Chain A
Amino acid sequence: GQSLEQPSEVTAVEGAIVQINCTYQTSGFYGLSWYQQHDGGAPTFLSYNALDGLEETGRFSSFLSRSDSYGYLLLQELQMKDSASYFCAVPGNNRKLIWGLGTSLAVNP
Chain B
Amino acid sequence: NAGVTQTPKFRVLKTGQSMTLLCAQDMNHEYMYWYRQDPGMGLRLIHYSVGEGTTAKGEVPDGYNVSRLKKQNFLLGLESAAPSQTSVYFCASSYGAGDTDTQYFGPGTRLTVL
Which chain A residues have a beta carbon within 8 Å of chain B's beta carbons? 30-31, 35, 41-45, 48, 50, 87, 90-92, 94-97, 99-102
Query: Which residues on B sit within 8 Å (CB–CB) of A102?
Result: 42
| B93: min CB distance to chain A, Å | 12
CA distance A41 to B105 in the complex (A): 10
CA distance A45 to B58 in the complex (A): 21
A48 B103 Cβ-Cβ under 8 A? no
- Range class of the B interface residue count: 20 to 34
CA distance A78 to B106 in the complex (A): 26
> Are A48 and B102 also in contact (CB < 8 A) when A42-B90, A96-B45 are?
yes
Using A42-B105, A87-B42 as known contacts, list a sample of 16 further A-B pairs with CB atoms less than 8 Å apart, ordered by residue number in A: A31-B100, A41-B107, A41-B108, A42-B106, A43-B103, A45-B104, A48-B102, A50-B100, A90-B99, A94-B56, A95-B97, A96-B33, A96-B45, A96-B58, A97-B99, A101-B41
A30 B100 Cβ-Cβ under 8 A? yes
The total of interchain contacts (Cβ-Cβ below 8 angstroms) comes to: 53
> Are A96 and B98 also in contact (CB < 8 A) when A43-B105, A44-B105 are?
yes
**B7-18 interface code vs A (CB 8 A; 1 in, 0 out):** 000000000000
* Interface status of B27 (Cβ within 8 A of chain A): no
A96 B108 Cβ-Cβ under 8 A? no
CA distance A91 to B97 in the complex (A): 10
Name B99's contact: one of A41, A91, A101 (CB within 8 Å): A91
Query: Which residues on A sit within 8 Å (CB–CB) of B58?
Result: 96
Closest residue on chain A to residue B102 by CB atoms: A45
B99 A96 Cβ-Cβ under 8 A? yes
Name B98's contact: one of A50, A97, A101 (CB within 8 Å): A97
Name A97's contact: one of B41, B103, B104 (CB within 8 Å): B103
Interface centre among B44, B98, B99, B105 (most CB of A within 10 A): B99
A42 B99 Cβ-Cβ under 8 A? no
Query: Which residues on B sit within 8 Å (CB–CB) of A96?
Result: 33, 45, 48, 58, 98-99
